[in-house]
Structure 1
Amino acid sequence: MTAVEPGADMAALARRRLASFREVDVERSAFEEWDDRGRRFDVLVAASSWHWVDPSTGWQRAHDVLSPGGWMALLGHVVVRLPGEPEVYAETVDLHEQFCPGNPGWGHPPLEDEVRTTDEGWGLADGPGELFGPTIVRWYPAVQWFNGDGFADHLRSLSLYRRLDLDVREPLLDAVAERIRTRMGDRASRRYLSVLRVGQRAK
């Protein structure tokens, strides 16, 4: 197994954690610039990372490094909501607007059933054209439950919140935690749909 990672720190961390697996190599490079040294692979997997690859070159590169009959697999995750279930963003929209007005990133996650209708193709604006055959799509639902403080800590790990100035982020998240405690019974869900999209390399 060969792992390709562009970040120096992440590549070093992966090497440390995978040191006991002698058949795993971690190579530091962007996928588009990676030197495959003529190697060909049976499966190429990108987990929540393909959106970083330039589609104008990435799909052709994926096709080229796969053996004939090889498979491309993309994994992704979407935050979703269920109709009628209390949902944090709906309960805190006024707080988000108060502490960080006009941020276009705020808003409801899509309904789970709406996301499940996107079950054709690769789910991307720029697909691979004729380089890969029809996709197989599978959905895997999951849910995490948090109390108010736990949900606020979860939000602290997300880039949308990490980009906020500290003097905006912390009062906002303190208010979100308090709202979950007082309006949602100190119990809030974070629902996900994980999706696997698989396609075979065309000849």
Structure 2
Amino acid sequence: MPTIPYEPADHPRPEPHSHRQVAESFGVDAGRYDRTRPHYPEAMVARIVNESPGREMLDIGCGTGIEARQFLAAGCTILGVEPDARMAEFARTTGVTVEPGLFESWDPAGRQFDAVISGQAWHWVDPVAGAEKAAAVLRPHGRFAAFWNAAEPPAEITEAFITAFRRALPDSPFDVAAMRLGRKGYPALTDRAIDGIRKSGLFAEPELWRFDWERSYTRAEWLDVLPTQGALTRLTAEPLADVLNEVGEAIDALGGSFTVRYAAVVVTATRD
């Protein structure tokens, strides 16, 4: 899979790590989150494993253990760090070892790792302090890899969501219009990670890897996913139902099912 050139985004970048109330809202329904959130391409997992000096890994913001279980299946040992006690407890029930806390203040107790990974979570970490902490717990030439799934549903579904969300929450700070970027929207997150790595001065030049893949959804499956999105996790029942109904009508108009195109994008660097 390709290593893609780094081109800085030409739009203001968010600072999601400062919004802890959102970051810690996903555990409201940990079971739904684990059941519905997409996994990552096996090719991505294999490349991270193969380009790390060993298989002892630290998973930052491990959530319910989605990516941790994929790396365990690839022969790695995993320790997760997770600030949400509900998510951490769910991960433990699936066989993932988890310690509580924010990564920036978590105590590694002298332990070091071959790789520090973070799936769909590094944007909740201070980009510079996080990079410095990652370097501190990595063995020489250890690999840092933060990755995200950037989703691109059909335009009709995206537009229905934006319209319904703005009607339900006209004063929301979430820039849901950015969803129109689809798989092109990842620089809003990856740029921050790259800048943090560079500012730390502790890593070789970061790289971007991209892995394209697809998944089909039924109406019921997609409406099960949506409440786990950060823009919706704190909605009350009535406005959430309004959003889901409008998106559901758009899915019905497409025949009741559709395909989402994903780009799994990895920001990665080795400890210098």
TM score, norm. by length of structure 1? 0.76
Does the Cα contact within 8 Å between 1:78 and 1:193 map onto a contact in 2?
Answer: yes
CA shift at 1:191, angstroms? 2.6
Task: Select 1:134's aligned residue among 201, 205, 227.
Answer: 205
Question: Structure 2 vs 1, CA of residues 66 and 160 (structure 1 numbering), >3 Å: closer, same or farther?
Answer: same
Note the C-alpha offset of 1:96. Answer: 4.2
| Residue in 2 that maps onto 1:123 | 191
Question: How far apart in 2 are the matches of 1:124 and 1:73?
Answer: 14
Q: Max radius of gyration: which structure?
A: 1
1:199 CA drift (Å): 0.7
On the 8 A contact 2:116/2:144 being kept in 1, the answer is yes
Shift of 1:200: 0.8
Equivalent in 94, 99, 105 of residue 17 of structure 1 = 94
Compute the displacement of 1:194 (Å).
Answer: 0.8
The alpha-carbon distance between structure 1 residues 33 and 192, as it changes in their structure 2 partners (threshold 3 A), is: same
Q: Is 1:90 matched up with 2:167?
A: no
Q: Give the unaligned 5+ runs of structure 2.
A: 1-76
- For 2:181, the equivalent position in structure 1 comes to 110
Q: Report the counterpart of residue 44 of structure 1 in structure 2.
A: 116
Aligned counterparts of 2:160 and 2:94: Cα–Cα separation in 1? 40
Query: How many residues in Structure 1 have an aligned counterpart in Structure 2?
Result: 188
| Alpha-carbon contact 2:215-2:260 (below 8 Å) kept | yes
Among residues 148, 161, 172, which one is paired with 1:76 in the alignment?
Answer: 148
Match of 1:169 in 2: 240
User: Residue 87 of structure 1 aligns to which amino acid in structure 2?
Assistant: E
Larger helix share, 1 or 2: 2
1:47-91 deviations in Å (ceiling 9; x for gaps): 12212222342211111111121111111121236xxx5431225
2:130 equivalent in structure 1:
58
Q: For 1:8 and 1:175, how far apart are their aligned partners in 2?
A: 33
CA deviation after TM superposition for structure 1 residue 142, in Å: 2.5
Question: Which SS does the other structure have where 1:167 is aligned?
Answer: helix
Contact 2:215–2:259 (CA<8 Å) still a contact in 1?
yes
Structure 2 Cα separation of the partners of residues 166 and 188 of structure 1: 26
RMSD: 2.7
Instruction: Give me the identity figure in percent.
Output: 28
Going from structure 1 to structure 2, the CA distance change for 1:141 and 1:95 (only over 3 Å counts) comes to same
- Name the CA shift for 1:54/1:151 in 2 (closer, same or farther; >3 Å): same
Identify the residue that residue 4 of structure 1 maps to in structure 2. Answer: 81
How high is the TM-score relative to the length of structure 2?
Answer: 0.59
Question: Counterparts of 1:47 and 1:27 in 2: how far apart (Å)?
Answer: 16
Provide the C-alpha distance between the structure 2 equivalents of 1:50 and 1:7, rounded to a whole number of angstroms. Answer: 14
What's 1:188 paired with? Answer: 258
8 Å Cα contact 2:160-2:246 kept in structure 1: no
Specify the alignment match of 2:216 in structure 1.
Answer: 145
Distance in 1 (alpha carbons) for counterparts of 2:102 and 2:255: 45
Post-superposition shift, 1:100? 4.1
In structure 1, list runs of 5 or more residues that go unmatched.
19-23
